Structure formats: structure tokens, C-alpha cells
Chains A and B, each alone.
Chain A
Amino acid sequence: MTEFLTAAVGLILAMLGLGLVSILRGPTDADRMMAAQLIGTAGISVLLLLGTVTGVPAAVDVALILALLATFASIAFVKKGLSRLETDGADPGEDR
């Protein structure tokens, strides 16, 4: 069971790495905003599995905080990214 879970952690971590490469290379800023989303899902999975494998039950609390803060970071990305577009002359619109 432990080996299986550790293998799962390694696989998801590899996905996280590949996903980060693809996202951060993305041509526009909208691509890079997805980074916090990616970490919010894959990173939390790695954390939960890691907590079970290494016997650190408090890892669930770290995952809880990670979920909330990754959300906050994503919103901040979108807000600051949007204001960049406004000053570049694009139509700002409203967050509908």
C-alpha cells in the first residue's frame, strides 16, 4: 500500500511538473494565470497522499490552507492581469 501510494505521489508530481512547464511557457498571461489552479489541484493531491505515506496527519491542514490561498492567489492573478489589459487600451468590461 505504501509503495503504491508513493508511486502515485511520484506520478502526480511528474504531471505537476509537466503541467507547470506547459503553463508557464504559454504565450499569453491568461495561460500563466492557470498556474495557481494547477497547484491547487495537483499540489493538494500530492500533499494528501504524502501525508498518508509519511504518517503526517497534519498535512491535511496544510492542504486546507493551500486550497484557500491558491484560490486567493488565482483571483489576485486575474485582477492584476485584467488591470494590465485596461491600461493597454483593451476594453475592460466588468466581471460578469
Chain B
Amino acid sequence: MSVARDIITVAGVSAGVFFFFAGTVGLLRFPDTLTRLHALSKADNLGLGFVVLGLLPQTGGLRDGLKLISIWMFVLLAGATVSQLIARTARQSGSGK
């Protein structure tokens, strides 16, 4: 049973690191603000989700697992709304790029 847990953890965290890597590459290589914002919001949030999924089998009980999932929910909600607001600011400062 603990072997299955470890496999899930390794798989989840590896996928998370991969998506963080993808997001950072996008952040470094994309040409302008809007595309970089896109890379940051989508890929990094997915990376966090996979890390959370990978760490779920390692937690002590139901309460810790619920805390992990609620952290992910908060970050998703925040990311979805804040990226819209930042994009609007980018458009206004770039005069409708």
C-alpha cells in the first residue's frame, strides 16, 4: 500500500515540476506581457495542482487532505480572476495592443 502511495507521490510531483518548468520557459521566451501572463497562470497553476495531488497520499488524515485541496482551490480562484485584471491593465497601458 505504501508503495502505491509513493508511486502516486513521485508521479504527481514529477508532473508538477514539469509543468512549472514549462511555465518558466514560457515566461522567459514569450515576447509580450499577455502571452507571458498566459504561461504563468495556466502552467504554474497546473503545476501546483499536480504537486498537491502528489502530496495527498502523504498526508496524515482527512483534515490535512482537505486543507491541501482548499489551498489549490483558493489559488485557482485567485489566478483566474487576477490574471483577467492584470491583462486588462496590460491592455490599457499598451493602448490596446
Contact = CB atoms under 8 A, between A and B. Distances in A.
Is the pairing of A and B real?
yes
A29 to B, nearest CB: 7
Interface residues of B, number: 48
A55 to B, nearest CB: 11
Best-surrounded residue of A31, A57, A67 (most CB of chain B within 10 A):
A67
Contacts of A64: 67, 70-71, 74
A88 to B, nearest CB: 9
Given A1-B9, A19-B40, A70 B78 contact: yes
Interface string A11-45: 11001001100110010111101101110111011
A96 B79 CA distance: 16
Question: Interface on chain B toward A: helix, strand, loop, or mixed SS?
Answer: helix
Contacts of B93: 28-30, 85, 90
Contact of B20 (A1, A12, A34): A12
A76 B27 CA distance: 22
A68 interface: yes
A75 B88 CA distance: 13
Interface string A60-96: 1101100110110011001001100100001101011
B5 to A, nearest CB: 10
B28 interface: yes
Given A15-B23, A44-B71, A67-B78, A34 B13 contact: no
Interface of A: 1, 4-5, 8, 11-12, 15, 18-19, 22-23, 26, 28-31, 33-34, 36-38, 40-42, 44-45, 48-49, 52, 57, 60-61, 63-64, 67-68, 70-71, 74-75, 78, 81-82, 85, 90-91, 93, 95-96
